[in-house]
Amino acid sequence: MKKLTLILIFFIVHSCLFAQSFVANYDESKVPPYTLPDPLIFKDGKPVKSKKDWRKRRKEIFSLFEKEVFGYSPQWIGSTKSEILSRKDGALNGIAKRKEVRLELVNGNKTISLNILIYLPKNSKDVPLFLGCNFNGNHAVSTETDVLIPDSWVGNDKNLHITDHRANPEGRGKEASRWPLKEIISRGFGVATVYYGDIDPDFDDGFNNGVHQLFDVKRDSTSWGSVAAWAWGLSRVMDYLETDREINTGKVIVMGHSRLGKAALWAGAADERFAMVVSNNSGCGGAALSKRIFGETVGSINNAFPHWYCMNFRKYNQKEELLPVDQHELLSLIAPRPVYVASAAEDAWADPKGEFLSCVFASPVYELLGEGKFSASDMPPLNTPVLGTISYHVRPGKHDVTLYDWNCYMDFASGYFKLKR
């Protein structure tokens, strides 16, 4: 209790001091001139001319993101064990089959457990599946009263108060609007989700909790933070999915909203088994260009959430011009696989224009790889998706995931996977 009290005091004081010093820019006329690194120029200045060249250049860019932004994730040499906790045919009023799986990650005498909630169309196996982390526990995704409640750390979306308690039934269905399960299943998709706090609790305790504790690794300025841990956890869920005969792991779409959108992008970059990546309102450190210094910035994110990224990322607080990478290159790392970026018009903190411009400046890599050009150079009107291997839309409203967003993602994935409507 004493430790938790000290953590709480730290966050309150830290948040107050930071709020006094940071003023976000929401004025396009105040966006400074900036130069973006070219993903198709090697660090020695030579141009990337072929797909073979790109694989080499991709390693350079990926290494920079590891070293300067997300941190290096340790190699996984442990083992995994899975246990089916529950099965239910006729879930969601008869249209789905539901399964809850406990996945144990074991490294020596250390074990972490993740609970995975899976919904699949009742009479189909070979379907695309959306995989993503949730914020409040698997029971918050579904209104079904028998979905298990997590027994790990549960905080809140804004993370202003650090708590260490078990979830309670009052949170059931809290995120249901962000996970329209019936609509997703009815469109012929599956869903798998895992509570992000099972992977790594979202507060700064010196990286002694969550999956970090599985490794006896001395931390330095390049060590992984929580965003990389959440991404790493999604890859371990993918390990399990590859053993599940009911799931076609060639059609797994990794998806995330907000901070979990940042994690989804890094998961898609780090793990090429994911067939498609969806970023919903991921903002700074996700899809938005850092060098625009609009809305949330590198300095603001590192000060408010010092555990999200590696310590090296702090070198660029208020010095974004020195960053050797920017977020269009994060999208480029996903190429030639599809990536869908979505913004909300009232979510200026996440910089919708910066998210859009990342799509524009990632386009040359997709073109080199034969995937066509991103077909817009100016921000599209609201509710007018720009579709291609790189896709983008901006909708009315605030920072959230809506049914409109999901319908856009499903429309796009249906075309990509050639699903019948």
Q: pLDDT tens across 303-327, in order?
A: 999 999 999 999 999 999 999 999 9
Start-to-end Cα distance in the chain: 54
Cα–Cα distance, 284 to 68 (Å, whole number): 15
Confidence of residue 43 (pLDDT cuts 50, 70, 90): very high
**What's the number of domains the chain is made of?**
1
Cβ proximity of 342 and 408 under 8 Å: yes
What are the tens digits of pLDDT across the range 296-309? Answer: 999 999 999 999 99
Residue position matching structure tokens 């009742």: 122
Q: Which of 258, 279, 343, 358 is catalytic?
A: 258
Q: Is the pLDDT of residue 162 over 70?
A: no
Residue position matching structure tokens 């350079």: 60
Task: Supply the pTM of this predicted model.
Answer: 0.93
Cα–Cα distance, 291 to 358 (Å, whole number): 11
421 belongs to a structural domain: no
Q: Which of 15, 82, 113, 399 is catalytic?
A: 399
Confidence of residue 348 (pLDDT cuts 50, 70, 90): very high
Q: How many helices (H) and strands (E) does the chain have?
A: 12, 9
Please state, for a pLDDT cut of 70, what percent of the chain lies above it: 90
**Residue type, position 50, single letter:** S
Q: Is the pLDDT of residue 168 over 60?
A: no
- Is 393 one of the catalytic residues? no
Q: Is the pLDDT of residue 48 over 50?
A: yes
159 belongs to a structural domain: yes
Q: What is residue 9's predicted lDDT score, i.e. its pLDDT? A: 47
CB neighbourhood size of 151 (10 A):
12
154 belongs to a structural domain: yes
Q: What is residue 211's predicted lDDT score, i.e. its pLDDT? A: 96
* Residue 116, domain CATH: 3.40.50.1820
133 belongs to a structural domain: yes
Cβ neighbors of 44 (< 8 A, separation 6 or more) are none
What are the tens digits of pLDDT across the range 171-202? Answer: 899 999 999 999 999 999 999 999 999 999 99
- Is 113 one of the catalytic residues? no
Q: What is residue 150's predicted lDDT score, i.e. its pLDDT? A: 84
22 belongs to a structural domain: yes
The residue among 155 and 280 whose pLDDT is bigger is 280
Average pLDDT, the chain: 92
Range of the domain at 336: 2-416
Q: What is residue 161's predicted lDDT score, i.e. its pLDDT? A: 34
Q: What is residue 6's predicted lDDT score, i.e. its pLDDT? A: 45
